[in-house]
Amino acid sequence: MTVDLRTNYLGMTLAHPIVPSASPITADIDHLLRLEEAGASAVVLPSLFEEQVEHEAMAVHMGLEWAKDSFAEAADGYLPDLDDYNAGPARYLELIRAAKNELKVPVIASLNGTTTGGWALYAKILADEGIDALELNIYLIAADPTLTGDQVEHQYLSLVELVRRTVEVPLAVKVGPFFSSMANMATRLISAGADGLVIFNRFYQPDIDLNQLEVVPNLILSTPAELRLVLRWIAILHGRIVGSLAATTGVAGAEEAAKLVLAGADVTMMASSLLRHGPERLRETVEGLATWLEDKGYQSLEQAKGSVSQAAVADPSAFERANYMRTLMSYSPQW
């Protein structure tokens, strides 16, 4: 017997729920082809960062203009003005085109905007390239002490509404967990026009270099230990929102994928594990998931999906605070 692994994500039927998430591993067509060969059921391209696109364009401009006309012998500046700088999202669009041309699986683009206009502008530009779905990678650090939680939530919702009005492609929203009421926020994001949620965003977090005494960007690849937060919220949200749920962060292999499916994930996304082990890890995960389901006697993924969600378990509080306290109490110090 072969288990039917098909799953529905954002209205698309995927062969199985294992999808490489937005990361450097999806940044070029050679990698994408290897991922597809390894069995990826869809791919999420790296985020197009509005801020980076604009910063790079201005850097080119200022680099060419700076020092121009400063000296009679160098009136034209010091760098040759080339014919084309692939400015703006050109390179990203090329990646989309290549992915759409060469891959058979759905291609999901990802967007991180800075300005309201930018979200709408770039969402449309990406949608016009024929992507199968769009993931909004919303990254807001509410560092302004005068900004209230309400205002922050409003910003999220406004953005989703704006993009929804602008494009018709299936829309996923990738957010972090830092809301006072995650469940409420999830529901409102869906109401604002999202077709699904991707939880959770792992923000780039700063670190301090103790030698240089400098703040440095640092991204540490995720580990299965980080699965729990995602697992909890997939389990809580499953059946409570009218949209797809994608789990990301901490999916190292089939074991984590199986847990997330049981909790209610439509899709489980992988990045760190693929970066560590290569595209073949994806195939191993798909096969491992199938084997586990089969061993457990499931006929299809849909049958297992959400079967251990909060709504489906005997003790719903197991996913809430009581669980946390019991864990603490059962933890024995090692010293």
Residues that bind other proteins (CB under 8 A): 53-54, 56-88, 91, 213-214
Cross-strand partners of 14: 7
Shorter beta-carbon distance to other proteins: residue 89 or 170: 89
- CB 87 → other proteins: shortest distance, Å? 3
Shorter beta-carbon distance to other proteins: residue 70 or 181: 70
Shorter beta-carbon distance to other proteins: residue 9 or 49: 49
- CB 206 → other proteins: shortest distance, Å? 13
Distances 80 to 57, 68, 74, 88 between C-alpha atoms, Å: 16, 11, 11, 20
Shorter beta-carbon distance to other proteins: residue 57 or 183: 57
Q: 163 with 193: CB under 8 angstroms?
A: yes
Q: What is the C-alpha to C-alpha distance for residues 114 and 52, in angstroms, rounded to an integer?
A: 9
Q: 269 with 247: CB under 8 angstroms?
A: yes
- CB 112 → other proteins: shortest distance, Å? 15
Q: What is the C-alpha to C-alpha distance for residues 273 and 232, in angstroms, rounded to an integer?
A: 21
- CB 84 → other proteins: shortest distance, Å? 6
Shorter beta-carbon distance to other proteins: residue 209 or 320: 209
Q: What is the C-alpha to C-alpha distance for residues 51 and 241, in angstroms, rounded to an integer?
A: 31
- CB 28 → other proteins: shortest distance, Å? 10
Shorter beta-carbon distance to other proteins: residue 118 or 224: 118
Q: Which two tokens mark 125?
A: 């530009």
Q: 176 with 200: CB under 8 angstroms?
A: yes
Q: What is the C-alpha to C-alpha distance for residues 139 and 141, in angstroms, rounded to an integer?
A: 7
| DSSP 8-class letter at 4 | B
Q: 246 with 269: CB under 8 angstroms?
A: yes
- CB 156 → other proteins: shortest distance, Å? 24
Cross-strand partners of 216: 207
Shorter beta-carbon distance to other proteins: residue 73 or 168: 73
- CB 49 → other proteins: shortest distance, Å? 13
